[in-house]
Structure 1
Amino acid sequence: MIGKSFSAPMISDHFAGDMPEPDVYVVTSGGLRIPAHSHVLAMASPVIEKILERPKRSRKTGAKSIPILGVPSDAVSAFVRFLYSSSCTEEELKKYGIHLLVLSHVFSVPKLKQRCTKGLAEMLTVENVVDLIQLARLCDSAELFLRGMKLVARKLRTVEKTEGWKFIQKHDPWLELEILQFVEEDELRKKRSRRQKEEQRLFLQLNEAMECLVHICTEGCTSVGPSHMDPPKNKEPCRRFSTCQGLQLLIRHFASCKKRVSHGCARCKRMWQLLRLHASICDLPEPCACRVPLCRQFKFKMQEEKKKDDAKWKLLAKKVLSAKTMSCLLPKGEGHSLFRQGK
């Protein structure tokens, strides 16, 4: 009888006690016939629900049967248990994770698919990654596919030595091409990210230099200060002393260098650029109110001369102002020095 063959490993005793007699068999390739309840299976899987709607019954018992073939019987048992309890053990995932992912895809059980995807992603290795990428593609498991591709991108030289890679080279060249394209795009993304971080670091440095320039020209700092007042005595170094000190050394050099007008000095050229950049972002309403040298002259010059490189300076000023906004989000003391002492 079906009721007598209904076993505890299939469903917990709690379910078995509360439910009617099983009315359907799940048949495996190994000949195992797992008794189950059609309404439970139908609720858990829309695919099984459609199978149950077919008028096909066993001649001996009168019960309907659901064939699940090509998969180990124990994996099918674990699948049926999941349909009842919505859970599976770590041991079952390790043993039958691949089979359960296939079953979850074929029979449309999203929760099991999610569980298998997560479990298999944690079991990815150099040796099995190509096989799992193939499986993920067949089962439309985007997360597992992406995790596998990222592992290949990190360990391509090692993966190329595996049997899985040699197999797709012979039998699935399109997948090989897709993987190699992903690796190339991943490397380009990393390079682009590194370049953007480097640019952002530079803009943060320029923003800090602009703030230090205003600070030196309005308040003074250690050895350099505004022309209308003496440098402060016994003043403690400011919190951006690394940048501030480098800028002070540059200002002192600029004031005494004989080549600054002819642009024959690289350090003076840098100072000219900093002064022009300051004028591009200075938002004081009256030009004469700014204490930074040449701010007024540069503003008038930029208004009178519409140079070809004016757009570049505007773009640079915009990015520095954007970096200024970002710098407000950084913890105190995480500034980046544009200058190096002694240079």
Structure 2
Amino acid sequence: MCEAPRLRCDAGAGEAVAAADVDVVTTRGRRRIPAHSSVLATASPVLGCILERRLRKDRESGKKAGRSVVRIRGVTDDAAAAFVRLLYAGRCGDGEEEDMEKHAVQVLVLAHAYQVPWLKRACEGAIGARLTADSVVDVLQLAALCDAPRLHLRCTRLLAKEFAAVERTEAWRFLQENDPWQELQLLQRLHEADMRRRKWRRKRAEQRVYVELSEAMDCLDHICTEGCTEVGPAGRAPAPSPCARYATCRGLQLLIRHFSQCHRKSCARCQRMWQLLRLHSALCDRPDRCNTPLCTRFKQKEQEKAAVKAGDDGDKWGLLVKKVKAARVFSSLANRKQMSSTSQC
């Protein structure tokens, strides 16, 4: 952030005015604000170019050097004075809150026109903090004109969140009657934002499914290798205490018991168990014999399918296997990170 030079605190008002070499003239020349060219040129490159051009013009014409005049038009006298005070302050602290509260919109226009980035960001924050459903349409157009992306994003979020309230405002009705093209663009942005939210939620739900399948694979391997509460490998008693993932492990044990006792050909629960066993075989990397039932058989079938180039079903199944593998990797990394942070504590 550019810290502008400040007036000396020990100098009187008369000395400060006498030391000034620039007059900032507001709309219609009704107010002249004494300032220093060094302060204005340091704070704003545009004001620096204007002052340099005026000085060069005076030199070429042979005119005696005097006070330069900088005209700030299009805003009220109080807003122009607040803009100059903020340039002198070089920041927006506690002493400048009143100026930002009263003139933030007009100061934003001036900060954009005279290229003062820190002041522009401060105005975006001040306007965004007081944003309401009644003012969001006007502020959105202001953000587009002043190239204020942060303020534009804040307006878009409020518009999407409270669109029903915005539709009832006079500003929205005025926009519908006088600028239907702008209305169409806003509606398109809202539709795109809604589609992005739905896509993100769908991806989160899919990722949650992959994580649950990864957890089920770990529990299946745990049950068939070590045993857990009620179900264990052949010839070995189940473990007396439940594992850490009790909910998933318990449901999988009930599914295994049902699978071993059910004799119906079209059973949805048995079909789910067949799919879990097939998924385990695709993820299993043991070179020797695996304790999980049907693992070797499924591996042989997958090798046969790969030899004859499986169709679309094989492609979808391969994608599912890749997603579950990635979820297992991320889960293991998260568990390691959590264990390391716990050990450090």
TM-score range, shorter chain: 0.7 to 0.9
- Per-residue Cα deviation, 1:96-144 (whole angstroms, up to 9, x for no partner): 0001000001111111101111111111110111111111011000110
The one-letter code sitting in structure 2 at the alignment partner of 1:300 is Q
The 5 Å alignment of 1:79-118 reads: 79-88=83-92, 89-118=96-125
- Amino acid paired to 1:285: P
Whole-angstrom CA distance in 1 between matches of 2:100 and 2:20: 26
Tell me if the contact between 1:56 and 1:64 (Cα under 8 Å) persists in the aligned partners: no
Q: Which residue of 2 aligns with 1:246?
A: 251
- The 3-state SS of whatever aligns with 1:305 is helix
What per-residue deviation string (whole Å, max 9, x for no partner) do you get for residues 195-224 of structure 1? Answer: 111111111110111000000000000010
Kept in 1, the 8 Å contact 2:176–2:183? The answer is yes
Task: Tell which has more relative contact order, 1 or 2 (C-alpha 8 A, sep 6+).
Answer: 1
Per-residue deviation at 1:60? 12
Superposed, 1:126-165 pairs within 5 Å as: 126-165=133-172
Is 1:282 the counterpart of 2:284? The answer is yes
Candidates 190, 198, 201, aligned match of 1:191: 198
Q: CA deviation at 1:87?
A: 2.2
Q: Which has the higher helix share?
A: 2
1:150: how far off?
1.1
Aligned to 1:340: none
Q: Distance in 1 between matches of 2:294 and 2:321?
A: 17
Q: How many aligned residue pairs are there?
A: 316
Gap runs ≥5 in structure 2? 1-5, 339-345
Distance 2:58 2:268 in 1: 89
Residue 65 of structure 1 aligns to a residue in which SS? strand
Aligned mates of 1:206, 1:114 — CA distance in 2: 47
Q: Deviations over 1:291-340 (max 9, x none)?
A: 100100100111012432222221111111111122235579x9xxxxxx
Output the aligned Cα RMSD.
2.4
Q: Paired residue for 1:226? A: 233
Q: Which aligned pairs between 1:6-25 and structure 2 lie closer than 5 A?
A: 12-14=7-9, 21-25=19-23
Q: Mapping of 1:10-49 within 5 angstroms?
A: 12-14=7-9, 21-29=19-27, 31-49=30-48
- Give 2:278's aligned amino acid: R
Contact 1:280 1:313 in 2 (8 A): no
CA contact (8 A) 2:58 2:64 kept: no
Cα offset, 1:70, TM superposition? 2.1
SS in 1 for 2:128: helix
Shift of residue 12, structure 1, vs aligned partner: 4.8
Contact 2:24/2:69 (8 A) holds in 1: yes
Instruction: List per-residue Cα deviations over 1:202-259 (Å, max 9, x = no partner).
Output: 1111011100000000000001000131223xx1111111111111111111111112
Tell me, yes or no, if the aligned pair for 2:58 and 2:65 is still in contact at 8 Å. no
The alpha carbon displacement at 1:16 in A equals: 5.0
Q: Is contact 1:219-1:225 (8 Å) kept?
A: yes
CA distance in 2, matches of 1:99, 1:210: 62
CA contact (8 A) 1:127 1:162 kept: yes
| Other-structure match for 2:296 | 296
Equivalent-residue separation in structure 2 for 1:85 and 1:15 (angstroms): 16
- Residue 14 of structure 1: SS of its match in structure 2? coil
Q: CA deviation at 1:145?
A: 0.7
Q: Distance in 2 between matches of 1:74 and 1:328?
A: 62
- The structure 1 residue matched to 2:68, chosen from 43, 64, 81, is 64
Structure-1-length-normalised TM-score: 0.86
Match of 1:6 in 2: none
Q: Flag the 1:331–1:283 CA change in 2: closer, same or farther, 3 A.
A: closer
Sort the Cα spacing of 1:60 and 1:27 in 2 relative to 1 into closer, same or farther, 3 A. farther
Deviation (angstroms), 1:174: 2.5
Pairwise CA distance, 1:167 = 2.0
Give the stretch that moved more between structures: 322-331 or 13-22: 13-22
Q: Residue type of the partner of 1:278?
A: H
Change (3 A) 1:294 1:215: same
Match of 1:231, SS state, is: coil
